[in-house]
Structure 1
Amino acid sequence: MVKSRSETRAHILETAARLLDDEGAAALTIRAVAQAAGLQAPALYRFFEDKDALLDAVAEHVFTTYVTGKAAARDGDPVADLRAGWDAHIGFGVANAALFGLLVTPGRTSPVAEAGLVVLRARVHRIAEAGRLRVPERLAAELVHAAGTGAVLTLLARRPEDRDPGLAEAMFEAVLARILTDAPTPTDTSPDLSKLTVAERALLAEWLDRD
């Protein structure tokens, strides 16, 4: 049975994902993926411009599959939403060690990693809108991102049986303590007097001075 173009592409990505998981990033070459998929190497170039394009497509495929299986409903609390995103990030990284290593490689930009940052910044923005941030939004997002990446890499550096199950949660709580206020920052509701004329200001002062 002849496969459609979309079926062939999906087969290539599934094969590449298994190869990456089994043998690591070094094994993920166009030739190796083609051979594992039962294709000739030139066939892959009809779907992917080069190895980087293949890697990006594999990352998107694996990440989409993971998120679909782990999707959680949005919570009305923006901090709870941030926590859900953190848990998904940690879970994905630990479950996909080789792929996570590619996504965080210095100097390499991945569409999946960039999309993840966009989502993170949106979650942080919702917290800012709720008046809960004590630091600028950009700094808050970078702190969460850096802590999440560091937590995953620390966990992956140890054998599964030696990993501290409370590490990621402790890291998240430490970040929250740094970026959140204890209560929403009150909105300044005082009137803007700078637009009043001299006469209007004088009249206002007269009203305020009255008993």
Structure 2
Amino acid sequence: MSSRLQQLTANIESALGDKLGRLVSHVGELTIECSVANMLDVCLILRDHPSLKFEQLIDLCGVDYAEYGEGSWSGLRFATVYHFLSISLNQRVRLRVFAADDDFPVLPTLVDMWPVANWFERESFDLYGIMYEGHPDLRRLLTDYGFVGHPFRKDFPMIGNVEMRYDPEQQRVIYQPVTIDPRNNVPRVIRDEGFHHG
């Protein structure tokens, strides 16, 4: 671990204290984990503490851990991962927060702290179904208004649930149940064990 990363680790541990759930260093990057209950306090400290100054939220994304580790995952299912940048101190950190309820995942919104979170949270809601409590306009962003389900969830069917087409008789776009036959996406292994080079 570089001295710069060691210093950032010490600064994070000192600033967050008992609000820090876990701090993981991997390939030169730090990932902070905290509980939902401490999330807003942790984010405020990350943004405002003089030794951290993570003034910019670069990105956030939802994650579904349902099949993580080839099904060996036993933790909570849904998380949001946040990527922060300190321009003034030239440092980065990642924050991962798991939603406490797998059936109805909810995390607090960060729109009030970082307005850029608005569309990122909408995307995460649309694709994973993670709700962001306090979001000013939480609605779908990438899928259609009538779309059912959340397509990045591991249990969402690869062919979807409905298909859309133009019906010339009704002169409008209609939705109907999927009529595509499911495909086997497992690659076939071809072995020619009786083949001999002559």
TM-score by length of 2: 0.29
Flag the structure with higher helix content: 1
TM-score by length of 1: 0.27
Name the structure, 1 or 2, with higher relative contact order (CA <8 Å, separation 6+).
1
- Structure 1 or 2, whichever has the larger Rg, is 1
Flag the structure with higher strand content: 2
